[in-house]
Amino acid sequence: MNINKAKNNQDSFFYKIMAIVALAALAAIIIIIGLSSSGKSNAPAGTPDTQPTVNSPADTNGTQNTPSGDDPGTPDTPNTPNTTDTPDSPNTPTDPADTTSSESGDDPSDTTGNNDEDSPSYADGVPTEAEMMEKYKGTILEKTEDAGQEYIDNIIFLGDSTTYGLKAYKMLKDGKETLQVWTPINGTLSLNRATIDRIYYPDTKEEITISETVKKAKPDMMVITLGVNGVATLSETQFKDAYVDLIDTIKKASPNTKIILQSIFPAAKRYDTTKGIDNDKINRANIWVADVAKECGVKYLYTACALLGEDGYYMNDSYQNGDGLHLNEIGFEKELNYIRTHAYN
């Protein structure tokens, strides 16, 4: 009797323990489910826990690409004459408006540009040849009889990419092997660095300064065409000072060299004036060039007037090589003919 009673008590205790364990397990399950539901409710509705990576059609790396597109702030480089010259001849010249080598003046912090008080806007259009002859009599080269090819063959042409085209288009004696064109190896020269940068001296195939080149060559006559880059960035003072410095450098190196400053060529109507170069600025700068020539006692060649179209403002479209600024073969023939018929006697 006592044995059965004890056994019943043990069974009852066992069932109670099992019930407690079962309740505890159930409670634990309920708590886990509750915590899981609470964690999901913290995310915004409709937002998956893990965002998928969005690929562009051409992307295989699992990241979203940004379309490259065209850089609207990078101007197209105008076409210039192609050349296959070896290192003894300059490569295709760079765009005169290329800001990577722009004429920004000696002081890199100078942002005055053409807004200086000594740089009034030129609002009267293109001055005629007659007007220039009257204003700069004794400085400007007037019309003469044709001096002939021998006269052209005696000239050294120093300048930027608008001068380099004489070589690229084989306009001078010996064509692309001519010794008459002086520019840096890249085919262009900035006015405000003309006495600093090294130019390619074709006689010895050296890259030396203009001072060293003139000392070696002692040219009889030089036609200098510079400043098309400078019209976009240089003030009148900076522009003129740079030209005066160049002339002084040449005179010291070769006192007997005849120096002719040639006007900057006009731009054609198609030229992209957003690059900072336009004919109003060119016209104004051509007055500065004439002023410098008069001040320094050298000659001025107003070739720009011979390159104008019927409107008397833009370059004749048939004279430009497609970019609106550089001359083609017809344009260079026009230039050389003007030089021959406005000779330095």
Domain containing 152: what range?
112-340
Kindly state whether residue 146 falls inside one of the protein's structural domains.
Answer: yes
Q: Average model confidence (pLDDT) for the chain?
A: 79
Report the predicted TM-score, pTM, of the whole model to 2 decimal places.
Answer: 0.68
pLDDT value, residue 20: 80
Strand partners, 199: 208
Q: Is residue 45 part of a domain?
A: no
Mean pLDDT, residues 184-204 taken together = 96
Evaluate if residue 79 carries a pLDDT over 90. Answer: no
- Smallest CA-to-CA distance from 326 within 150, 197, 167 is with 167
Q: What percent of the chain has pLDDT over 70?
A: 69
In a domain, 66, yes or no: no
pLDDT of residue 225: 98
Under the banding of pLDDT at 50, 70 and 90, the label for residue 26 is: confident
**pLDDT of the residue at 45:** 40
Can you give the CATH number for the domain in which 191 is found?
A: 3.40.50.1110
Is 81 part of a structural domain of the chain? no
Q: Is residue 136 part of a domain?
A: yes
| 129-163: pLDDT as tens digits | 999 999 999 999 999 999 999 999 999 999 999 99
Residues 54 and 64 sit within 8 Å (Cβ to Cβ) = yes
Per-residue confidence (pLDDT) for residue 42, from 0 to 100: 43
Q: Is residue 98 part of a domain?
A: no
Q: State the average pLDDT over residues 291-313.
A: 97
- For 54-68, 111-125, 136-150, which range has the lowest pLDDT when averaged over its residues? 54-68
Q: Is the pLDDT of residue 171 over 80?
A: yes
Q: Is residue 211 part of a domain?
A: yes
On whether the CB atoms of residues 300 and 338 are closer than 8 A, the answer is no
How many separate domains does the chain show? 1
Q: Is residue 51 part of a domain?
A: no
Average pLDDT estimate for 161-183: 97
**pLDDT given at position 35:** 58
